[in-house]
Structure 1
């Protein structure tokens, strides 16, 4: 990683040069109602590429201070009950800007930063990007961040109880979906079935989900899509604010709280957050699952500068959690038994202390994000270090059985050339260096070193009614697995054999997005993807707690490549919105797990205990995934919303013409939401929803069918204006009929453990 200090030095030099070269400037303007011309107080404005925000005063006026004196940036304004508006502003023009907003009950396209080098209006983005804001994330009553977005059409989750969720997008998950945190790819042994996302769910101001191949801008592991977790923009200059959020779930007794404070003093920006969660085992129809609880504490801080030359922010965080693992499901009577065969009572299962086995995970992250204005363009960089320490305790709470330490160094540097509002060229280089070391008594994957680098060129051409874009990229990855011997009294057993693999690939993308008629937007994209095999696929040899199988890797695996076609149509009228998306994804040398001919192995632990486990091996085939998503939102009355979404994906093994394993079932979501205008209250809502999941009978030979089910949800909430901001309160309920069901991607289905039953969540968010 000798490049890192060099890159830091170069960025610091550019920062110093531009600090002297740029002069102080400000942006002033006004936000008004387009019909009445009356000012709109409290509208929020954002310049994402400068990480700057402000709001309008009682006269509808706004000011951005300490911004560059020249350059073109996308400015977005939002106000509840009005269409979101955005425009490219030229800072050198020094003109007052007026936004005239049109009233609307429909949420219009927002500015996004995922899938584009520069922030862009989503209507001009050829890739499908869905945005979920903080309020919806909080009111989802989710047990973790991935659970909070699992109802987005095309998004599903592989769950291990309430604590662990792994995202899948359009049937692809694990190392095919990239999670971005603080601008850097998250690296936390994500190849594991029971390895969740290590992110504080309270820290997300919004989440952008990119559906489809994103290898052009993000490299390997973005073959299926990207989940970008975005923190708050810093407050306006001279402001200091904060927030306290807390919630309680009746199912599992989950308590979660988070406190945050942030400020901006003459461009010196800062933020601090502490969050805590604790839960006992989840329950369903009279039963509580023992040792399915978890606890989690997260701390984070950000320090930075927002100046005329751009910004630089240093983010530091620690994610720490303990998660109980369930070894056995219920007996024939539906009861859970302890080691002596005694029935575990629900009162004992509700104890918050964890028993063996359990996971202990610490994830440390440091990220330096900068955007330096240079030569009329923007030099964006993210330098990050992550350390993931994953321990699994099986026989004793003092010594872990599995102990993995992963160090990841990542860099992402791209330069967007000066543009006239039409052409937007960008070039970039990205890379990662990793080391992984075993320190426990059990070994699932070998020690390894990995080094990869990628370079890309991207070009976007904007028109008055849309845009086209194209790009090309080259990636190279080298991974070296190490020998590992296990010493016994009189001999040594070789657990892993050394290997050295190289992978390289060219990828490309071509897309468009245009308003082809009034309120009608058409977008399409042809993109290729690339993914090198992960360490488990190449070198796994073992079973660890939380799994129900023995996995064997294959060091001769080839890289995966894909070619995907996307087409999307969106219609936005006064009282209705309609969205249709279709895709076809062909994946070559697709890597998957399979249990061949019911192969089993007798596994012996360090205490001499034996168990017979099914053996799963990593195989390759050509595969295809085809499907689509549809959404229809009716707003026949201003305060009444009827929202409907549908998603379906079909995965096929092209070698055998049989279904691919672990494909989510088709789903249909319906929600009626009433938003009355109540004196003294804001953002009030009452909602009732149905989640309809269809039967999944397209399964691989070793899978079992999963019946369909319908879940009833409901919620109510409102907010009060205070001197410091909005105080939000809400109550939401999930699975209110207490339905017994299995989700097809639940890993506890194999053990006969149902998904969670009825849950009611109470939440409040208080401005500070």
Structure 2
């Protein structure tokens, strides 16, 4: 910790006296100035918006190579690489109109390029898009991304699933640092509130080259909201109402920035009662409350930038155990329930050395998870997880058209038990990984390749625990070390005019987690006795992705296919035995495969500029080598959306309306302890826009999910075994305004 503080002190005093700037004028193709264009330099976390005459300026730019992005609704995003060397840059930009979505800088990939320039296909979903969908939680919101779903426990707990892989196979990054919060458990959600999240990026496929162990299935990268532009300040308020759970979410934030310093703070409070199903009943103890605080400080001057962010989240979650009991809209939790405190502190620092750059990212996560059972004032189960992470990357000077990046990253983690019950033992985990990757661009093609080596050491303490029936359960000590080499190779090219293809080959790995190695008992909410296996080996996979994208001015067509071969895939399966009145499950390994993809089109017919027709189909199949199907694989889904965009005089701007039909097919390809799930169709509606009242802008949204109050059960619902339906009709009203 002392080293961490010293490094922050070094960052704070490191300085030279260059006063560079980038300025210019932004116009459309008819040379008309554009007002309100977002100008942003992602490497230094600085931005501004163009004035009414189209001019802009960003001061205190460090020496080196800086990517500047210009984003404006209805226009094609432009990015320019400028080289700053003790001088000021004049950069005038002409933006071209486009009917399709904005092209944005992708942060989760190594070279931070526009999506259209990336070798790897990455999905990006903004906070504004999530608000339009009327999602109750962040986990639910990201399921609107093709290829992404969630394992849910009611409306409060959701775990991301990317192309059939979940749990520790999906790495979550928030504030640029790895989130560790006992994510191995099915009843352990994200622990991140969606307010204060600017956008979500999803890497679908092995990303171990960039993120190490556990990124075998993909990465969910949460970008925090941006600071205010230089010399500006704002006060923001957000309110949402949810009819189904009689829920509310209130959030307030303040931002202020000078040329060098930036500050922001946001507080959020949300509560929901038991959710209602289409039979007009409420599912007992699915109620939850959440408090969330986010704060940030940024400093940018001369040849370095630094950003320090903190997030505290307190969640109180009911655990549904007895299905539908006495009906109530109370917010008071019933046993069993969880109380979870999650602290995330991150520091992101960029040093510019002319042609090269050094990134140093440090993180600390503290997760305190308590579980209360019947008639107990103290937590029966309590685990404290502390995780220190580091990620150091050096961008070498560009050699012609070749960019090279090398780095080292890792973590130190401790898990300590304080309750009478044990789910996993006290443990220490140490990770270290070294990697290098290169990007080469020529003509209309890009080639990207990289290699990496990782080591993970897991050391646990032996425990002997006596349960309520005086049965002795032993957690044997484990001392294991896991090594792995991973590699990736990607190629992007423009085959024909308007036709782009991407081919990616990547390997990934995942070391067994503590639950898989050491479990020995019943965990509330699972309804099974789980036994670990300390002989488990690394999971390793190799995946090939093929992406085709055809785009013209009024039509877009895409096809993403993948084949994922997994060696020694770890999964839980019933043994046929019974212990402590619960069926016994243990962890086994089997070579497996997953394959499928996402396909769709977007039609924007001329001259009906206000009309959009979007359609996506996503599918995935998971099989073991012996022919049995893998568990927890989502059903195939077809989504069709008819959307309009319009303005009404000067008082309603950027307005929209949509109708969406989600058709989920029957899931008949189930594992030996799952049951089949029938098909269903859900109709959703939405309407909203920016209401202009003088100098105040109110962003409003009204959505109705499951309009017809359809009875259905999602295949990945953990309440499916009890025959409990998913949520019925839910009307969500949201209002945002800034002062």
Same fold at TM > 0.5: yes
Residue equivalent to 2:672: 701
What is residue 574 of structure 2 aligned with on the other side? 595
* Equivalent of 2:167 in 170, 174, 190: 174
Alignment of 1:471-510 (within 5 A): 471-486=450-465, 493-510=472-489
Q: Deviations over 1:282-307 (max 9, x none)?
A: 01121111211000001121112111
**What SS is found at the alignment partner of 2:143?**
coil
Equivalent residue for 2:210?
Answer: 217
**3-state secondary structure, aligned to 2:160:** strand
Please give the secondary structure, in 2, of the residue aligned with 1:446: coil
What corresponds to 2:631 in structure 1? 661
* 1:67 matched residue in structure 2: 61
C-alpha distance in 1 between matches for 2:71 and 2:146: 24
2:179 equivalent in structure 1: 186
Q: Which residue of 2 aligns with 1:521?
A: 500
2:277 to 263, 281, 284: 284
**Residues 723 and 226 of structure 1: is their aligned pair in 2 closer, same or farther, counting only changes over 3 Å?**
farther
* Counterparts of residues 599-748 of structure 1 (less than 5 Å): 599-601=577-579, 603=580, 612-636=581-605, 637-654=608-625, 656-680=626-650, 681-721=652-692, 726-748=697-719
Matches within 5 A, 1:380-395: 380-395=359-374
**What is the Cα deviation at residue 466 of structure 1?**
3.7
Alignment of 1:550 with 2:529, yes or no, is yes
Query: 2:11 touches 2:349 (CA, 8 Å); kept in 1?
Result: no
Q: 1:402 aligns with which of 381, 384, 402?
A: 381
Task: Answer yes or no: is the 8 Å Cα contact 2:656–2:688 preserved in 1.
Answer: yes
- Report SS of the residue matched to 2:553: coil
For 2:178 and 2:408, the matched residues in 1 are separated by 14
Deviation at 1:725, TM superposition (A): 6.2
Q: Name the residue aligned to 1:139.
A: 132
Alignment of 1:365-514 (within 5 A): 365-374=344-353, 376-419=355-398, 422-486=401-465, 493-514=472-493
Aligned in 2, Cα 1:517/1:447: closer, same or farther, shift over 3 Å?
same
Counterpart Cα distance in 2 of 1:466 and 1:679 = 45
Q: Are 1:293 and 2:287 an aligned pair?
A: yes
Cα distance change of structure 1 residues 71 and 479 upon mapping to structure 2, 3 Å threshold: same
Check conservation: 1:125, 1:512, Cα contact below 8 A.
Answer: no
Task: Look up the SS of the partner of 2:130 in the other structure.
Answer: helix
Aligned residue number for residue 304 of structure 2: 310
CA change 1:39–1:725 in 2 (3 A) is farther
Alpha-carbon separation, structure 2, partners of 1:124 and 1:714 = 34
- Corresponding residue for residue 122 of structure 2: 129
Matched-pair contact (CA < 8 Å) for 1:485–1:495: yes
How many Å separate the matches in 1 of 2:357 and 2:64? 9
- Structure 1 contact 124–514 (Cα < 8 Å) conserved: no
2:558 and 2:599 in contact (8 A); partners too: yes
Q: Hey, what's the Cα distance between the residues in 1 that align with 2:142 and 2:246?
A: 21
Q: Which moved more, 1:584-593 or 1:516-525?
A: 516-525
Please state if 1:27 is matched with 2:25.
no
Q: Contact 2:21–2:89 (CA<8 Å) still a contact in 1?
A: no
Maintained 8 Å contact 1:171/1:663: yes
- Determine if contact 1:127/1:211 at 8 Å carries over to the other structure: no
Q: Does 1:537 align with 2:508?
A: no
Q: Provide the C-alpha distance between the structure 1 equivalents of 2:126 and 2:399, rounded to a whole number of angstroms.
A: 31
Paired residues for 1:41-190 under 5 Å: 41-68=35-62, 70-92=63-85, 94-116=88-110, 118-190=111-183
More moved, 91-100 vs 435-444: 91-100
**Other-structure match for 2:246:** 253
Please say if residues 635 and 666 of structure 2, whose CA atoms lie closer than 8 Å, have aligned partners that are also in contact.
Answer: yes
Deviation at 1:97, TM superposition (A): 1.3
Deviation at 1:91, TM superposition (A): 2.4
Q: How big is the shift at 1:108?
A: 4.4
Residues matched between the structures, number:
734
Q: Structure 1 pair 503/488, CA: closer, same or farther in 2 (3 Å)?
A: closer
Distance 1:135 1:375 in 2: 36
Q: Which runs of 5+ in 1 are unaligned?
A: 330-335, 338-343, 604-611
Q: For 1:449 and 1:413, locate their aligned partners in 2 and report how far apart those are by CA, in whole Å.
A: 22
CA contact (8 A) 1:473 1:506 kept: yes
Judging changes above 3 Å, is the alpha-carbon distance between structure 1 residues 275 and 464 closer, same or farther for their aligned structure 2 residues? farther
Q: Tell me by how many angstroms 1:490 deviates.
A: 13
Distance in 2 between residues matched to 1:735 and 1:322, nearest whole Å: 26
SS in 1 for 2:57: strand
Aligned to 1:561: 540
Alpha-carbon distance in structure 2 between the residues aligned to 1:422 and 1:727 = 46
Normalising by structure 2, we get a TM-score of: 0.97
TM-score under structure 1 normalisation?
0.93
Q: Distance in 2 between matches of 1:490 and 1:145?
A: 40
CA distance in structure 2 between the aligned counterparts of 1:235 and 1:435, rounded to whole angstroms: 37
Q: Tell me if structure 2 keeps the 8 A contact 1:15–1:309.
A: no
- Report how far residue 669 of structure 1 moved: 0.5
Given that 1:429 and 1:453 are in contact with CA atoms closer than 8 Å, whether structure 2 keeps it comes out as: yes
Instruction: State the distance in 1 between where 2:89 and 2:295 align.
Output: 36
Quote how far apart the aligned CAs of 1:724 are: 6.0
Pair 1:766 & 2:737 matched: yes
Contact 1:72–1:421 under 8 Å retained in 2: no
1:695-724 deviations in Å (ceiling 9; x for gaps): 000011111000010000001101024676
Q: Output the CA distance in 2 between the equivalents of 1:711 and 1:94.
A: 55
Task: Indicate if the aligned counterparts of 1:305 and 1:312 stay in contact, CA closer than 8 A.
Answer: yes
Secondary structure of 2:422's match?
A: coil
- Structure 1 residue aligned with 2:260, among 261, 267, 276? 267
| CA–CA distance in structure 1, aligned partners of residues 41 and 467 of structure 2 | 62
Q: Judging changes above 3 Å, is the alpha-carbon distance between structure 1 residues 169 and 488 closer, same or farther for their aligned structure 2 residues?
A: closer
Aligned to 1:538, what secondary structure does the other structure show? helix
Instruction: Summarize the alignment of residues 306-385 of structure 1 with structure 2, pairs less than 5 Å apart.
Output: 306-329=300-323, 336-337=324-325, 344-345=326-327, 349-374=328-353, 376-385=355-364
Secondary structure at the aligned position of 1:158 is classed as: strand
